[in-house]
Structure 1
């Protein structure tokens, strides 16, 4: 399982013009090949009057589903360059369609490669991209004497506190990256002289967006 990976949270659109040809890129997050194909068909229907609707997508933990289409453009001048941009940005579970309205002037193979690549970059620039981290939701129960130490440890190591419940004792829920788990548990044990009780609630992915944390089931 990946420790962390980048993906699109909200898709966007970008457009460039090269020698009067319009290149419109639409980006969307996708979870399956079926979703990607449905998105591609949706764009073809939306831009039914365009000469080309080229596409590329990368799906799966190991990018098991990696496809691209030139849709009538010369071989390797559209889909592959588009795919290379997605791979170069190290993205997962992402699809892009670039629609071309021909402007009457041939761009040549090099010009097409540059135009389709630039269009995808514009689309990604207008999308919201997040990084998901593989983690554990860790419940920590302590007395009121220990809470300050745990909050300090969490802040020092940039470990988000997802929830806090105050009763006779305090129960904090921390979002801990998997690769930091042993270190954090050891630090909490030492910081509270072994008084804190810890329990792994669940394994998940989490990401930060606008100061808030998004949780994703595994």
Structure 2
């Protein structure tokens, strides 16, 4: 079975702007890890832009891209949050939040005009972004007898595993970061070594490359 353990996201926050018939649309794009990040950024923007009439947003979270939300914040249904979300889909981005702050210019744009405005503002922000591809990694603690050190370190070298910590004071303990697609192979090989104990610590995201 092929494991999908990579995803595209943003390296750093970016901004963009679009104007139409007096209305100003300010787009703010953020890399995020949790839904609490969404609340934090929204609260900050509402504080920074108290006179804006709308703070519309969309986000996607997770490697499977199935955790998402779009919010129109008072704009006609489907005219703001969904266009923002559709841009995230089209660019295959996840762990990303985009908020578009609107200052009303006195002229109604209509639903087609709003869809275009929120889409264009979002694209303006993302056009300025550096995209990065990350891997989903699992961190394990490996305890092993001294006699197995050569075999353990050979596996680390062959699979290009990231060593986070080594401790040889009272026992041979190694903390390693394993890309999710390699977990089965690495655990099977470690499991064949006598006296080796393995425990999962946590899952993290690791930088793979910039694109």
Contact map agreement 2:137 2:177 (CA 8 A) in 1: no
1:139 to 131, 135, 142: 142
Q: Partners of 1:99 and 1:17 in 2: how far apart?
A: 10
Q: Deviations over 1:191-212 (max 9, x none)?
A: xxx45x422233411222499x
Q: Partners of 1:186 and 1:37 in 2: how far apart?
A: 41
Unaligned runs of 5+ in 2: none
Measure how far apart 1:102 and its partner are.
Answer: 4.6
Q: For the structure 1 residues 182 and 66, does the alpha-carbon distance in structure 2 shift closer, same or farther, using more than 3 Å as the test?
A: closer
Alignment TM-score, normalising by the size of structure 2: 0.66
Q: Partners of 1:130 and 1:185 in 2: how far apart?
A: 25
Q: Secondary structure at the match of 1:44?
A: helix
Q: Deviations over 1:103-142 (max 9, x none)?
A: 6777665554344234334445547866352524131425
2:70 to 68, 92, 96: 68
Q: In the alignment, which residue of structure 1 is the partner of 2:26?
A: 24
Q: For the structure 1 residues 160 and 67, does the alpha-carbon distance in structure 2 shift closer, same or farther, using more than 3 Å as the test?
A: same
Contact map agreement 1:6 1:130 (CA 8 A) in 2: yes
Q: Partners of 2:40 and 2:149 in 1: how far apart?
A: 53
Q: In the alignment, which residue of structure 1 is the partner of 2:176?
A: 174
Q: In the alignment, which residue of structure 2 is the partner of 1:151?
A: 153
Q: Partners of 1:76 and 1:57 in 2: how far apart?
A: 15
Alignment TM-score, normalising by the size of structure 1: 0.65
Unaligned runs of 5+ in 1: 212-218
Q: For the structure 1 residues 130 and 140, does the alpha-carbon distance in structure 2 shift closer, same or farther, using more than 3 Å as the test?
A: farther
Measure how far apart 1:175 and its partner are.
Answer: 1.8
Contact map agreement 1:15 1:24 (CA 8 A) in 2: yes
Q: Secondary structure at the match of 1:91?
A: coil
Q: Partners of 2:27 and 2:157 in 1: how far apart?
A: 40
